[in-house]
Structure 1
Amino acid sequence: MTSQNIPKATAKRLPIYYRYLNMLSDAGKKRVSSNELADAVKVDSATIRRDFSYFGALGKRGYGYDVENLLEFFKKTLNQDKLTNVALIGVGNLGHALLNFNFHKSNNVRINAAFDINEEITGTIQSGVPIYPMEDMKEQLKIQQIEIVILTVPANVAQGVTNDLIEVGVKGILNFTPLRISVPESVLVQNVDLTNELQTLIYFLDLEKQS
């Protein structure tokens, strides 16, 4: 993604815009207005225009946005014009589900290596991905020059594994564990707490029922 300093909320919306623009392109649509985008991605048009304004003049008043130009711009902004290899640390139930998900089909992201302590699966290939024992993790991450990992290990070992990842130069961690791992400022962490998200959804549904 671009190094330009943009709000995190905007950055999180960019992949949503990119996916929808891909759909428009596949459908043969040549241009789109901010109102049309707003209806599709459920983000108000003023927010979309503000998000896009961080990157300069991407559209024209009265014309809207050229789909192919906008798609190409976000492709470069989100580094979708190159394949990014990541590693999966922990191949339990969630890890297996992530292996089966075809990241690179639309996002140019590929799980290139996975690591686990389970001797029944280490040394095998699962969904096209080689599974290595944990003791090989640091060496393989260095050899394969992988800087981004998906962390799905048990919470009680998450920080220890994170320390090893930092030691070998990992720069980004998608953390699926409930533990809020500690990292230096040079390492970016995106926390994905499925339980918390579900509980939040239930909370708001209960509020709706009470109103």
Structure 2
Amino acid sequence: MQTFSKRVSMTVVKRLPKYYQYLTDLQDQHIEKISSKELAAMMGLTASQIRQDLNSFGAYGQQGYGYKVKELKEAIRKILGLDLQYNCIIIGSGNLGHAIVNYERFKEEGIHFKAMFDVDPDQIGKKVGDVTVYHMDDLDAFVAHHKIDICILSVPQKVGQETTDRVVELGIKAILNFVPLDLTVPDDVVVESVNITDSLFTLTYLINEEEENE
């Protein structure tokens, strides 16, 4: 995986998947080149912001020509590490876990789900697609025999931190967290949290703010 200066802000890093998605869409439309101005208009940014973001990772594009869509997409794919393969587990085999496993795009980008874990006896032994649901008692042994890069956490809030502690002890260094909880982890473990409740409550605020301003 490529490494870049830590001076690249997380704001820029978090825009990279959006660049990748737009460039993928452009390539699917057989568009071969695009200017920073055109890309900025699509993404709701400025042309200078596009150039500044991309220059953080190297020299891309040509003045007066713009960017070659395929080349820029592949460059961002490598920056995101999507040219590599990742083994994932999901803890919590509810509806959210099922939806994640069944999303075909992840396989296309080298993200492979190796197992799901739960404590519900009705779930143990079932398959979600080609992924088996195991009991949490089997977690340690499974991770010991498989190289797991990412853990997706979708468990009740009351067991969120203790489950995280267990995952960290097993040596997993990346967690995608769907638990509405600020997890505490060591400095060498990265956590990306997705709080659907916060997003919905933000929407309810914005709806009411708009109505008050009418």
Same fold (TM over 0.5): yes
Equivalent residue letter for 2:155: V
Task: Name structure 2 gaps, 5 residues minimum.
Answer: none
1:42 aligns with 2:81: no
TM-score (norm 2): 0.92
CA distance in 1, matches of 2:158, 2:168: 17
Q: Which residue of 2 aligns with 1:97?
A: 99
CA distance in 2, matches of 1:174, 1:127: 21
CA distance in 2, matches of 1:44, 1:209: 29
Aligned to 2:133, what secondary structure does the other structure show? strand
Residue 141 of structure 1 contacts residue 147 of structure 1 at CA under 8 Å; is this kept in 2? no
Task: Name structure 1 gaps, 5 residues minimum.
Answer: none
CA distance in 2, matches of 1:153, 1:18: 30
Q: Which residue of 1 aligns with 2:174?
A: 172
Q: 1:159 aligns with which of 151, 157, 161?
A: 161
Report deviation, 1:106: 4.5
Q: 1:144 aligns with which of 140, 143, 146?
A: 146
The C-alpha deviation readout for 1:131-172, integer Å capped at 9, x for no partner, is: 111011122122111021110010111111111111110101
Q: Which residue of 2 aligns with 1:3?
A: 3
Report deviation, 1:101: 2.1
Equivalent residue letter for 2:27: S
The C-alpha deviation readout for 1:17-66, integer Å capped at 9, x for no partner, is: 11111121222211111121122222332221111010121011111011
Aligned to 1:43, what secondary structure does the other structure show? coil
Residue 18 of structure 1 contacts residue 75 of structure 1 at CA under 8 Å; is this kept in 2? yes
CA distance in 2, matches of 1:68, 1:142: 39
CA distance in 1, matches of 2:180, 2:48: 35
- Dislocated runs of 4+, deviation >6 Å: none
Report deviation, 1:105: 4.7
CA distance in 2, matches of 1:152, 1:34: 38
Equivalent residue letter for 1:141: V
Q: Percent identity?
A: 38
TM-score (norm 1): 0.94
Q: Which residue of 1 aligns with 2:135?
A: 133
Equivalent residue letter for 1:102: E
Q: 1:206 aligns with which of 200, 208, 213?
A: 208
Aligned to 1:161, what secondary structure does the other structure show? helix
CA distance in 1, matches of 2:208, 2:113: 38
1:72 aligns with 2:71: no
Tell me how large the CA RMSD over aligned residues is. 1.5
Aligned to 2:115, what secondary structure does the other structure show? strand
Report deviation, 1:100: 2.4
Equivalent residue letter for 2:209: L
Residue 103 of structure 1 contacts residue 110 of structure 1 at CA under 8 Å; is this kept in 2? no
Residue 151 of structure 1 contacts residue 173 of structure 1 at CA under 8 Å; is this kept in 2? yes
Aligned to 2:104, what secondary structure does the other structure show? coil
